[in-house]
Structure 1
Amino acid sequence: MKEILKHEILEFHPDTLIRVREACGLDAPGRMEEAVGLLRDWAAKQEHFLKKDFDPIFLEALLLTCKGSVEKAKIRLDLMCTMRTFAPELFVKIHVKKDFPQFHKVCKALVVPKMTEDHYRLGILKITGCYPTLFQDLFQWVVIMNEYLKFHDYSIGHICLVDLREANIFDLVTKLNPIELRNTFTLITKGYGTRIKSINFLTPSKTVEAIVSLFKQVLSPKITSRIEVHKNIEEIYERVPKYMLPKDFGGDDISLDKIHDAWMEVHSSEEYIMHLKEMQKAGRTNRAGALRSTTPCSECPAPSGHSTSISLFSSFKTGLKYYRKSNNSFICSNLYSLFDCLTNQGRRIF
């Protein structure tokens, strides 16, 4: 990519492309093209990938999330495909207008047009109501948004603003499944590679601590250390410039509803729906092939008796070690069950 194409919603600074590449160590002449070529050639050789011809723009975006490391990008691409097998429920819905009949009535989840001076995006989630499958719909909507951003955005990371001022937080907590929360964040941060600069909850209610506590139980300390709770909008202004915020939040941009409507049109385009359909079938991983892969990776030692580090073995072993340390027996048992389901020998390998 030699320049960022103009977008109907997203805005960029004149120096965004070069500054983002500099931050990721990919600004040297020819460095990005070389890295994309290496990653493309590697993907084409993976027998367990049902889709091998990934778009260069997508691969470039993936490399940016890995700060230029081709080896880390391989792991990330493998995980992104594998998650389509592990958590297929995150990829079912693709028609944003007809597949989310209740969601848009009580929830707005979007990325605002402008970016910060240091090239971060602002994502806003505003919840005003609840229903039994709210979070299942929300997580699928987040996947649709991230899938789109991988092809159209160019930024360093994201600031998240969660507005719960009009929500019944206790009701939300009862609907939030920790396993689904973990799976979604794994896909977004480890698969799509979204860098989260901060998560800002906006509500005067003390019951928000119940949600924060749930986040801390299932998400990594690195992410949970970036969670902040704000009692009023004035505190948000200390974290997010007002020129980025919708006028509903006292900012200078158009209203949240207008931004939401614009994203609805973009996500409803025939071109994007076809893309999602293609990724539904092409992104899935042949599990047996993934376990047989012998592609070496210098950054991630393979388990004993297996030459593959870009594999399910490493991912589950690392995850299990983390959750053992946290004494979370519920998640440990789920990791074991999922691994056994895929290999029928999970406990023996561990």
Structure 2
Amino acid sequence: MTLISLPPAVQQAMEKEMGRDRAGLTSDVANLRAWLRHQPHLPQDQSEEWLERFLIGCKYSVERAKTVLDMYYTVRGAVPEFFSDRDPLGADVLRSVSAVYYFPVPGYTPEGYRVSLSALADTDPSVFSPRDYMKRMFLVADVRLQEEPCLGEVLLFDLRGFTLQHLVKFTLPLAKKLLVCGQNALPTRIKQIHLLYAPSFADKILAIFKPYMKEKLAKRVYVHTGGSEGLAKFFSTDILPEEYGGSAGSRSELNLAWQKKLESYRDWILEEEKKRADESRRPGKTRLANELFGMEGSFKQLAID
């Protein structure tokens, strides 16, 4: 799976908007590197290109990048559900590939946003594991960060076949960890979330996730009772899979291509899994999981009528 590169004109427009150019970005990377040298609890072997992508995803803000970079490594120790046992050939990842289509499409929107699609490949609730699916989502995010900068994310969720039996598998602690990690521990900016073919209980889906969304993100959630026809006013659907009227290939082809990409990164993924914040060396107060996410025992599963 090859991702189409960010159009230079789009990145140049972003640099102009943020008041940064190549020289400014190089200076920002040096500043971020200097800050890292004073953070003994964090890994120190990031490439210049990786730090550049991190800064671009943080809107060229060095201070924002510091905060996100610290969280990026902190959650890797605090959330083993997502960031441990990450072998792309592991049973949990392979189960997810069979149960759920999940992939970024190759192309960009005109604004330079990357579109990712989630949909059930197998509608049997017994084979659906939110934990496996979320682990795979973060694997894909890490591989993308190795390959590309991204100015914004558009998330599509095709809810055909999604039932209350699927929904009750999302516990509130798991939902909170997903949103905290997705919003605070990755250099990404979610521009739109679209629920396609929304079922009658879409309000219950939102009731689980919206409490943990930042206010700005919560306003960017769009609910569609139909499919891709409702997306036309947001971006050209030509970049989508053929099942949605696009020309990017079929869902099964794209899903398999991304799994092959993860497998091609297997050695790197297994080595990278060892890199996380060393809380014993953190200057100041240690960051514990219950401080990041709240005590697990204080959450109850959402009641579904």
Q: Contact 2:57/2:149 (CA < 8 Å) preserved in 1?
A: no
Q: Does the C-alpha gap of structure 1 residues 336 and 107 become closer, same or farther in structure 2, counting only changes over 3 Å?
A: closer
1:45 partner amino acid = H
Q: Contact 1:159/1:198 (CA < 8 Å) preserved in 2?
A: yes
Between the two structures, name the one with larger relative contact order (CA 8 Å, sep ≥ 6): 2
CA distance in 1, matches of 2:35, 2:58: 16
Any idea what the Cα deviations from partners look like across 1:26-77, whole Å, max 9, x if unmatched?
22x410111111111221231112x212111111111112222212211111
Residue of structure 2 in register with 1:78 after alignment:
70
Q: Mapping of 1:147-158 within 5 angstroms?
A: 147-158=142-153
Residue of structure 2 in register with 1:175 after alignment:
169
CA distance in 1, matches of 2:142, 2:36: 18
State which of 267, 279, 282 in structure 1 corresponds to 2:272: 279
Q: Does the C-alpha gap of structure 1 residues 132 and 147 become closer, same or farther in structure 2, counting only changes over 3 Å?
A: same
CA distance in 1, matches of 2:295, 2:90: 36
Residue of structure 1 in register with 2:261 after alignment:
266
Give the deviation of 1:291 after TM superposition: 4.5
* Higher Rg of the two aligned structures: 1
CA distance in 2, matches of 1:68, 1:160: 23
Identity %: 22
1:162 partner amino acid = F
Q: Contact 1:158/1:196 (CA < 8 Å) preserved in 2?
A: yes
Q: Secondary structure at the match of 1:125?
A: strand
CA distance in 2, matches of 1:106, 1:24: 41
Q: Does the C-alpha gap of structure 1 residues 165 and 139 become closer, same or farther in structure 2, counting only changes over 3 Å?
A: same
Give the deviation of 1:332 after TM superposition: 4.9
- 1:290 equivalent to 2:282? Answer yes
Give the deviation of 1:14 after TM superposition: 4.1
Any idea what the Cα deviations from partners look like across 1:84-110, whole Å, max 9, x if unmatched?
121122112433344323222221111
Structure 1's unaligned 5+ residue stretches are: 1-6, 294-310, 320-330, 338-350
Structure 2's unaligned 5+ residue stretches are: 300-305
Aligned residues: 294
CA distance in 1, matches of 2:237, 2:62: 37
- 1:119 equivalent to 2:112? Answer yes
- 1:44 equivalent to 2:37? Answer yes
Q: Mapping of 1:302-313 within 5 angstroms?
A: 312=287
- Aligned CA RMSD, in angstroms, stands at 2.5
TM-score by length of 2: 0.87
- 1:208 equivalent to 2:202? Answer yes
Any idea what the Cα deviations from partners look like across 1:237-286, whole Å, max 9, x if unmatched?
232312111111112321122212221211111xx22221222112x212
Task: Select between 87-96 and 192-201 the one with higher mean Cα deviation.
Answer: 87-96
1:246 partner amino acid = P
Residue of structure 2 in register with 1:139 after alignment:
134
Give the deviation of 1:151 after TM superposition: 1.7
Give the deviation of 1:333 after TM superposition: 4.2
Give the deviation of 1:198 after TM superposition: 1.1
Give the deviation of 1:228 after TM superposition: 1.1
Dislocated runs of 4+, deviation >4 Å = 331-337
